[in-house]
């Protein structure tokens, strides 16, 4: 599972701070997620740690009740 988080940071400022000068062609998050999904179709995306019930059972089912 990849946990997607919002960095809430200016990418130009951040890349300058870490010394990245050549970034190549830009890609949006949606496009990146689609490319990753094509390569790894069973990989899950989320933004939280799933409960053990979800991990052991049907990951798509909602156990938050």
Q: Take residue 41 and report the two structure tokens written for it.
A: 């179709």
pLDDT score, position 59: 62
pLDDT score, position 8: 78
Q: Is 6 exposed, middle or buried (0-12, 13-18, 19+ CB in 10 A)?
A: exposed
pLDDT score, position 17: 94
Q: How far is CA 31 from the centre of its chain?
A: 11
pLDDT score, position 65: 45
> pLDDT tens for residues 3-56?
777 767 888 898 899 999 888 888 888 898 899 999 999 888 876 666 777 777
pLDDT score, position 7: 67
Residues β-bridged to residue 20: none
Sequence ranges of the domains in the chain: 2-56
Residues β-bridged to residue 45: 2
């Amino acid at each position: 599972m990849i946990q997607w988080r919002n960095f809430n940071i200016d990418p130009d400022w951040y890349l300058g701070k870490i010394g990245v000068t050549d970034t190549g062609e830009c890609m949006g998050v949606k496009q990146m997620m689609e490319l990753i999904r094509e390569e790894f179709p069973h990989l899950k995306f989320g933004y939280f740690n799933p409960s053990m019930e979800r991990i052991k059972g049907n990951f798509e089912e909602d156990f938050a009740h």
